Structure 1
Amino acid sequence: MVNGDWLLRGRDGRLTVYLPSDDAVLCRAELAPGGPWEAPRRIGGDQRLHPGPAVGQGADGYAHLVAWRPTVKGESGLVHSTHFRPRLAPLDWNPIGHPDKKGDRTGTPAVAVDAEGRAHVFVRDGGGGVGTVAQKEKGGWTPWEHLGGEDVGQLAAVTGRSGRVELYAAGPDGILCWRQEEPGKPPGRAEGTDVRARSGTLRALATSAEHTTLFFTDQEGQLCAWRPGSDPVRLLAAAGPGPVSAVRCVIEGHDCTVLAQPSASGRVAFAAYPTEQEPAGAWWTESGPRLAAGAVVSVALDEYGEVVAASLDPATGTLLLTRRKDEPGLALRAWQEV
């Protein structure tokens, strides 16, 4: 599973998917916007990786990937790659260290990219808090810093419309938040919430110039939307056990947030509602064929700014894709294997 959106639109309009596969990360890209897809390519040559990569994308369209790799026996280190354009080969994996200088894996990383195009990497450290490292403006990486926190679980990183990076973390007593106040500086601790999230359900999205919204499933199985400074809002019952994928788009002239989630029935469920207006309500509509257990979904916008969704069966590598029809509402075309 990839932490973050694994279906992205590049700066040339082509879509790319990033797919974990055994001891590697694969990428596939459209040969032309809306056209056929190339065969999977392995990122970084023969470099072996541990499962659980993270992906983030900057406003420049560049994708940043982070993963753990084995180093010496019983130890691992984080590595980073940049993918500038879908048809170009991503850069080789570059080591960026370990939050505790050395040791084994400490948690699944998260990555976000600030307005200056610098990647900020976050991962649980050996003390149960959050460690972070970031690219420098003129190349290289900052020293690792520790942001605090206790017994953190899943991390979700996001870049706000302001270009500042934010981080959310699931904790035993609620959700923690850090927010970058100055460009080039590590995020500082911000107000959290004592509502607890189910493991592995966090997904963050920039929803306005002022706010990012965190989507998560609470302990009662309700999908919640939360913006720091207010209380989480229960939006609707979660369609399935995993995280939602979310994208902001225009539907019939309205600014909407579209959510997608593999449902308990095995199909992909979609919901849409006016952005940041959770009281307006939302409901699920299922689409596509029944998928295998463990399938994941990601949504993005295509070259025309329309919703496109991909589902992946991690066991077989089967990739399915659908796009919004040119008709009212969120009607989708038939899913096609690519």
Structure 2
Amino acid sequence: MNGDWLLRGRDGRLSVYQLSGDAVLCRAERGPGGPWSAPRRMGGEQKLHPVLAIGQGADRYAHLVSWRPTVKGESGLVHSTHFRPHLAALDWQPIGHPDKTGERTGTPAVTVDAQGRAHVFVRNKGGGVSMLGQKEKGGWGPWRDLGGGEVHDRLAAVTAASGTVELYAAVPDGLLYWRQESPGAVPVLQETLRTPVRPGTLRALATSPDSTTVFYTDTDDTLCAWRPGGKPATLLPAAGPGPVSAVRCDLDGHDCTLLAQRTASRRVAFAAYPTEQEPAGAWWAESGPELPLDALVSLATDETDRVVAATLSPSTGQLLLTRRKDEPGLALEAWRPS
């Protein structure tokens, strides 16, 4: 899955999205902090490929994007909106293919601007990036080729505090960065950073009114942070493979960025530091039980803005959650199955 799959809905309830065979399932709290519902299939009976991108706007509506098989040897992208965790999602709607027709070209990424319009990004057959955006009055605009070349899979899309959309992509010798210059505009390639990046490790987060930060692992297995216009900063050794999950939160009155990553020993490691102050340093603290090999990690905040962490195993369906205790520091409650 691409993007945060643990989300807080408009009604304060948490929900999780998971892939299961040819379907996307959702589980949600029956009430804030309460018991969880059984998994429900999202978007009708459409059969999907095992890929899912998730984005959420300021309205807290969830936007889901996946690939579906169409005719033999070809696929197309589909989109669904889930307005509230306890409601059914809209049926999957076809939104086309970056090259008009063909097989899957990459894992999509989706983010939502200040007007509630979803923007879908995906690698195209030429190795660059294509984008499709919703119109303000409904429907979708045309596919746009944003350029780039030799782009690796697993793009990182993010919406800045200003409400405009940005995109990061890994290439063999670094990172590419696109940004909308105004709301609704086509994102433009703004900057190229030469740095060693492990593909599949990007995660982006809005970190100030003027900046977004992309986290990635370099080829020395060091977790790094970069904000366009500056130089990348090294944070600490990566705890394990894959991207981190990241969330901004208040820790004892300080604006902090909390990171979580599954460790090589199959537990969850957490690290926090003052937002955009990477030189302050960070260190990992492991938590929870040993997890299945395919377990994913995601972070969110609940209706009281308390940090919540979740792990999910697609193969077993096992969902575990923990919340920050109501005490100083980053002490967590015991992990509990839901």
Considering the TM-score relative to the shorter chain, is it more than 0.5?
Answer: yes
Residue number in structure 2 paired with 1:177: 177
The letter of the residue matching 1:326 is D
Q: Secondary structure at the match of 1:185?
A: coil
- 1:79 matched residue in structure 2: 78
Q: Structure 1: state its 5+ residue gaps.
A: none
Map 1:225-304 → 2, pairs under 5 A: 225-304=225-304
Alignment of 1:318-337 (within 5 A): 318-337=318-337
Q: How big is the shift at 1:95?
A: 0.5
Aligned twin of 1:210:
210
Q: Secondary structure at 1:176's aligned position in 2?
A: strand
- Runs ≥4 residues deviating over 2 A: none
Does the Cα contact within 8 Å between 1:130 and 1:146 map onto a contact in 2?
yes
Counterpart for residue 63 of structure 2: 64
Retained in 1: the 8 A contact 2:164–2:183? Answer: yes
Letter in structure 2 aligned against 1:227: R
Question: For the Cα contact (< 8 Å) 2:173–2:197, is it kept in 1?
Answer: no
Give 1:328 shift.
1.0
Distance, in Å, in 2 between the alignment partners of 1:326 and 1:69 is 44
CA distance in 1, matches of 2:27, 2:41: 9
RMSD between aligned alpha carbons?
Answer: 0.6
Q: Do the aligned partners of 1:171 and 1:196 also contact (CA within 8 Å) in 2?
A: no
Gaps of 5+ in 2: none
> Residue 279 of structure 1 aligns to a residue in which SS?
helix
1:44 aligns with 2:43: yes
Q: Deviations over 1:31-76 (max 9, x none)?
A: 0000000000011221111112100000011110000000000000
User: How far off its partner does 1:215 sit?
Assistant: 0.4
In the alignment, residue 292 of structure 2 is paired with which amino acid?
A
State the shift of 1:192 in Å.
2.3
Equivalent residue number for residue 27 of structure 1: 26
Q: Distance in 2 between matches of 1:296 and 1:231?
A: 30
Using the TM superposition, give the Cα deviation of residue 173 of structure 1 relative to its aligned residue in structure 2, in angstroms.
1.4
How far the C-alpha of 1:183 sits from its partner, in A, is 1.1
Q: Count residues in correspondence.
A: 337
TM-score, length-normalised on structure 2?
0.99
1:102 has 2:96 as partner? no
Shift of 1:147: 0.2
Q: TM-score, normalised by structure 1?
A: 0.99
Question: Structure 2: which amino acid aligns with 1:278?
Answer: E
Report the Cα distance in structure 1 between the residues aligned to 2:325 and 2:79, rounded to whole angstroms. 37
Counterpart of 1:149 in structure 2: which amino acid? G
Inter-partner Cα distance in structure 2 for 1:71 and 1:187: 29
Inter-partner Cα distance in structure 2 for 1:84 and 1:296 = 24
Residue correspondence of structure 1 range 150-229 to structure 2 within 5 A: 150-153=149-152, 154-229=154-229
- Identity of matched residues, %: 72
**C-alpha separation between the residues in 1 aligned to 2:195 and 2:329?**
33
Q: Deviations over 1:84-109 (max 9, x none)?
A: 11111110001000000000000000
